[in-house]
Amino acid sequence: MNTTFTHTTVLLHATVNALVSRDFNVKASWIHESIESSKAQGVYVDGTFGRGGHSRYLLSQLAPEAKLFVFDKDPLAIQAAQQLQAEDKRVHIIHGPFSSMKEELYARGIETVQGIMLDLGISSPQIDDASRGFSFMREGPLDMRMDTTRGITAEEWLATADVEHIKEVIKNYGEERFAFQIAKAIEGRRKSSPLRTTLDLAELVASVVRTREKGQHPATRTFQAIRIYLNEELEELSRTLSSVLSLLAPEGRMAIISFHSLEDRKVKQFIAQAANPGAELAKLPLRESEMPQPLLKNLGKTTAAKEEVEANPRSRSAILRVAQRTETAL
């Protein structure tokens, strides 16, 4: 039986308007529809195509001769992108991580772009499809790979990793204070029977984690940690951010949505450092002409308005940060 999993795009108008509108207001409400402006020219990148919500709206704001390159690791997302490409030839698809965008674009003769957007983390269809193994609320295989064509599954990793490694992953990527107890419980369980399903793991974690924030499942942080680790999400983000500065044309913009503190911290620190590169040298006896010049202008951040959170509860933790490339050469 074919099942269609829907995805409600988070911060849709704010994210796209941030890329194409010179009058963009980071505090604008999510309910504002498309802005009145001329169609945007140039090349744009959606590094996390998902099911194409941001891309479809962005295409409506682009000129006929513009190009949109879309990236995704998920084979199902690539299938959705191919359907969009059949409708709109401005779409160019790359099946791969967004960290490869610089190399992939260079290989296609694209050296600068006018806008880059990233919607980090996991999409609703990935969560809702039990066969992907991302959800602790649904019975499914312990997979958790965003790209199901490569890499080891969560089941395979949990069956072989040592206790110290499991503890460090859950602690560092999940910010879980019961990481050691969870790792020991996993070690004890696999001596008798392997962890094969999402509910196996969720129930084991729940038996160890006795207290949790109101409304949060005991296994939330553990599942997040394993998913981030297996998919190298933070490493991918770091590699991508280092590419952004060399890809963005002067006045080009980046718009990045994050959903947890580890991601948002990386984005925030990256923008702050690029916008004020002389901060660490402020106490040194340097002339103003010797100080490094800003590579980005911080345009601010925004979160989902009350109306969006009510319509789509998964948007409540989303943070959008926007920055604009300066004229300063690398």
Judge if 27 and 118 occupy the same domain. yes
Assign residue 316 the CATH number of its domain.
3.40.50.150
Backbone phi, psi, residue 69, to 5°: -95, 130
Intra-chain end-to-end CA distance of the chain, in Å: 53
- Shared domain check, 189 and 164: yes
Q: Are residues 212 and 264 in the same domain?
A: no
Is residue 138 included in any domain, yes or no?
no
| Position 40 pLDDT exceeds 90 | yes
User: Annotated binding site for S-adenosyl-L-methionine, which residues?
Assistant: 52-54, 72, 98, 119, 126
Residue 202 lies in a domain: yes
95, 165: one domain: no
pTM: predicted TM-score of the whole model, two decimal places: 0.88
Binding residues: 52-54, 72, 98, 119, 126
Pick 148 or 291 by higher pLDDT.
148
Distance between CA atoms of residues 139 and 158, nearest Å: 17
Residues 104 and 206 in one domain: no
Whether 312 and 249 have beta carbons less than 8 Å apart is answered as no
DSSP letter for 115, please. Answer: E
Angle CA 111–254–52, to nearest 5: 90
C-alpha 198/C-alpha 142 separation (Å) is 5
Last residue of a domain, one of 203, 230, 257: 230
Q: Is 291 exposed, middle or buried (0-12, 13-18, 19+ CB in 10 A)?
A: middle
pLDDT for the residue 50: 92
21 secondary structure, DSSP code: -
Whether residue 75 lies inside any domain: the answer is: yes
- C-beta of residue 51 within 8 angstroms of C-beta of residue 79: no
- Decide if pLDDT at 52 tops 90: yes
- Same domain for 70 and 190: no
Number of CB atoms found within 10 A of residue 108's CB? 13
pLDDT at 21: 84
Q: What is the mean pLDDT of the chain?
A: 89
State how far the Cα of 137 lies from the Cα of 32, in Å rounded to an integer. Answer: 34
User: Does one domain contain both 239 and 219?
Assistant: no
Number of separate helices (H) and strands (E) present in the chain: 13, 7
Domain count along the chain = 2
**Position with higher pLDDT, 279 vs 256:** 256
Q: What is the pLDDT of residues 292-322, one digit of tens each?
A: 789 999 999 999 989 999 998 888 999 999 9
Neighbours of 39 (CB within 10 A): 12
Residues 279 and 182 in one domain: no
SS (H, E, C) 34-70: CCCCCCECCEEEECCCCCCHHHHHHHHCECCCCEEEE
The helix, strand and coil proportions of the chain, stated in percent and rounded to the nearest 5, come to 45, 15, 40
Question: What is the distance between the alpha carbons of residues 268 and 264, in angstroms, rounded to a whole number?
Answer: 6
Neighbours of 176 (CB within 10 A): 25
Other CB atoms within 10 Å distance of the CB of residue 72: 27
Q: pLDDT value at position 3?
A: 47
> What is the domain-level CATH number for residue 208?
1.10.150.170
* Distance separating alpha carbons of residues 182 and 208, to the nearest angstrom: 6
Six-digit token string for 163? 């206790």
Average pLDDT over residues 244-259: 96
* Structural domain that includes position 36: 12-125+233-325
> Are both 224 and 288 inside the same structural domain?
no
Q: Tens digit of pLDDT for each residue in 183-201? A: 999 999 998 999 999 999 9
Q: What is the CA radius of gyration of the chain?
A: 21
**Residue (of 120, 116, 119) closest to 324 by Cα position:** 116
In terms of pLDDT, which residue wins out, 99 or 127?
A: 99
In this prediction, residue 277 carries a pLDDT of 85
User: pLDDT above 70 covers what percent of the chain?
Assistant: 89
Q: Characterise 71 by phi-psi region: left (phi > 0), alpha (psi -120 to 50), beta (else).
A: beta
